[in-house]
Amino acid sequence: MKKLLELISEEVKKAFAEAGYGEELGRVTVSNRPDLCEYQCNGAMAGAKKYHKAPIMIAKDVAEKLQGSAVFSEAEAAAPGFLNLKVKEDFLVSYVKEMGTTEKFGAGEPGRGRKIVVDYGGPNVAKPLHVGHLRSGIIGESVKRICRYAGAEVVGDIHLGDWGLQMGLIIYELSLRQPELPYFDENFTGEYPKEAPFTIAELEEIYPTASGKSKADEAYKEQAMEATFKLQNGERGYRALWNHIMQVSVADLKKNYDRLHVQFELWKGESDVQDRIPGMADYMRREGYAHESEGALVVDVAKEDDTREIPPCMILKSDGAALYDTTDLATIEERMEEIAPDEIIYVVDKRQELHFEQVFRCARKTKLVKPETELRFLGFGTMNGKDGKPFKTRDGGVMRLEYLLEEVYAEMYKKISENREMSREEAERIAEIVALSAVKYGDLSNQASKDYVFDIQRFTSSEGNTGVYLLYTMVRIKSILNKYREQGGDEEKAQIAVTGNESAKDLMKALAGFGAMMETAYLETAPHKVCAYMYDLANAFNHFYHETKILTQEDETAKSAYIALIALTLRVMEECISVLGFSAPERM
């Protein structure tokens, strides 16, 4: 299905050609003066030089050709050379009707045939999930769904941080607390216990304790590094402990991500590519890409025209240990072999930009990827508290995701159960759904790269640009449709039609923009565009709702038209929230 602006532009292009001008001048945009017109074309201004004519003359010539057009009810030349356009209602009606019967409401599939890996989430095993990982999960999930909507084949990979010093810290701390465990007995050859020697709650205490000790005590840190080294070199007991840490921690992570409706296809991590590292390092050495520098193995990635210093990519430290660069490169190698994506999108804190710049350059230089493989870094900003500083708990600690979600949930529950007859279970269920929309929309409605302020009061408000407002709007539509059914109406039979209602026309114009918006959201990897669209659509609906008698409408054609129109609005909004990664309740 063609985009509305395409159809409109075609009509204007034809008129330019008929009036003797180049049709390329006929591109139409949404008006930036909605008080004057709905759409506009600035082509006459662009053509003035070429045709040695005042722009207003050109605009007048074209406007004349547009009189009697099937598309426009108004086409006027305005000084100094604009074409101000209004579309005919019946043209919009047939467009929006077609949308309703077209797959994906007319959004095309610019991603069809592409394979994309989205690397997001990125939590570190055994460390509690904190708000920094919240953004990656929320944005990454939405990016994944937008790519999928665009027809691409998409795989989301959590890329766990599961191989670093934190593992050695936990193992060493455990060896001090429970030295009698068989994992620490080098002569033990039997089978290790199936049960982990700690719970998630204990694990969450062990890591910060160990981390604190290692910062204060150099010898402690060395021991932890030694344990990390042994783990990475395959010490049997340490591997077994590592498996326990993974199991306990991943189960907990799953619980948290489930609550967020964030689902990964792959639960791989840094540890999965360890076996590749020696081979990859050899290859880089052999092909002359990597060289020794102060004992370390590095690949130079600086370019002559760099405006800032890009340090070499570190492949191996002088002691032979792998680094963050190394695991990311080995992961690229693995993904190219196992998935062969056309594109990898990394949804990571923007402070890691330099790391990814180095990794991407190195992957290209060393031909781990094909020249046409796209490597994209989608860096997100910080989630701040109202004081403008990174979000913290009240006592200044790192905010854990669970607590934050719980706080939003509690606030939402309070608002929902206030003055309402609703069972406790229902209020709880609804609060959970709505709280998720509050958190996700609060995040996604900002351009990802920007910092934003997490404001529970604002996010849970049913007024303003919030997820809660959008869900209220959807629930309002659901309730009208339910009443219509109760009155014996058949929503399926309702037909959008010309009614002469201006606010209905505005709603149709908003609906008609869906396809183009979805494609842009994909091409620009921009969930915030979906949010902005939805907000406009919700406003257009609410305006219509306040201006219009729907259920009490006497004119049956108009009533049917309104019902069909709001039903379509609801379906389009469902589509939007589904790519944003939340859902709407039946009532609230």
Give me the residues that bind ligand ARG (CB under 6 A), please.
Answer: 119, 122, 124, 159, 161, 328, 346, 348
Q: Distance (Å, rounded) from C-alpha 332 to C-alpha 277?
A: 12
For ligand ARG, give the closer residue by CB, 37 or 253.
253
Cβ neighbors of 2 (< 8 A, separation 6 or more) are none
Give the three-state DSSP class for 130: strand
Shortest reach from residue 426's CB to ligand ARG, in Å: 38
Amino acid at residue number 68: G
Of all residues in the shown chain, the one whose CB is closest to ligand ARG is 122
Amino acid at residue number 454: F
Q: Distance (Å, rounded) from C-alpha 449 to C-alpha 454?
A: 15
For ligand ARG, give the closer residue by CB, 356 or 452.
356
For ligand ARG, give the closer residue by CB, 102 or 449.
449
**How many residues are given for the chain?**
588
**Main-chain dihedrals φ then ψ at residue 417, nearest 5 degrees:** -85, -10
| Residues 487/553, Cβ–Cβ less than 8 Å | no
**Preceding omega of 193 cis (within 30 degrees of 0):** no
For ligand ARG, give the closer residue by CB, 275 or 547.
275
User: N- to C-terminal Cα distance for the chain?
Assistant: 36
Q: Distance (Å, rounded) from C-alpha 544 to C-alpha 550?
A: 10
For ligand ARG, give the closer residue by CB, 242 or 346.
346
For ligand ARG, give the closer residue by CB, 107 or 347.
347
Shortest reach from residue 157's CB to ligand ARG, in Å: 8
For ligand ARG, give the closer residue by CB, 375 or 561.
375
Shortest reach from residue 24's CB to ligand ARG, in Å: 44
Shortest reach from residue 346's CB to ligand ARG, in Å: 6
Shortest reach from residue 350's CB to ligand ARG, in Å: 12
Q: Which residues pair with 491 in a beta bridge?
A: none
Shortest reach from residue 265's CB to ligand ARG, in Å: 15
For ligand ARG, give the closer residue by CB, 328 or 575.
328
For ligand ARG, give the closer residue by CB, 81 or 168.
168
Shortest reach from residue 479's CB to ligand ARG, in Å: 43
For ligand ARG, give the closer residue by CB, 328 or 519.
328
Six token digits for residue 571 = 């379906």
Q: Tokens 């296809």 map to which residue?
A: 265
Q: Distance (Å, rounded) from C-alpha 407 to C-alpha 456?
A: 8
Q: Distance (Å, rounded) from C-alpha 230 to C-alpha 303?
A: 38
Give the three-state DSSP class for 579: helix
Q: Distance (Å, rounded) from C-alpha 142 to C-alpha 528?
A: 10
**Main-chain dihedrals φ then ψ at residue 555, nearest 5 degrees:** -70, 110
| Residues 202/245, Cβ–Cβ less than 8 Å | no
Classify 151 in phi/psi space as left (phi over 0), alpha (psi -120 to 50) or beta.
left
Six token digits for residue 21 = 């001008």
- Kindly calculate the radius of gyration of the chain based on its CA atoms and give it in whole angstroms: 29
Kindly report the number of other CB atoms within 10 A of residue 388's CB atom: 9
Shortest reach from residue 53's CB to ligand ARG, in Å: 57
Q: Measure Cα distances from 45 to 27, 56, 60, 81, 450 in Å.
A: 12, 8, 12, 6, 36
Shortest reach from residue 355's CB to ligand ARG, in Å: 7
For ligand ARG, give the closer residue by CB, 164 or 585.
164
Shortest reach from residue 271's CB to ligand ARG, in Å: 12
Shortest reach from residue 353's CB to ligand ARG, in Å: 12
For ligand ARG, give the closer residue by CB, 43 or 123.
123
Q: Tokens 């069809």 map to which residue?
A: 112
For ligand ARG, give the closer residue by CB, 123 or 585.
123
| Residues 533/146, Cβ–Cβ less than 8 Å | no
* Strands 343-349 and 374-380, sheet pairing: parallel
Shortest reach from residue 87's CB to ligand ARG, in Å: 46
Shortest reach from residue 500's CB to ligand ARG, in Å: 55
Six token digits for residue 350 = 């923007």
Smallest CA-to-CA distance from 441 within 138, 129, 121 is with 138
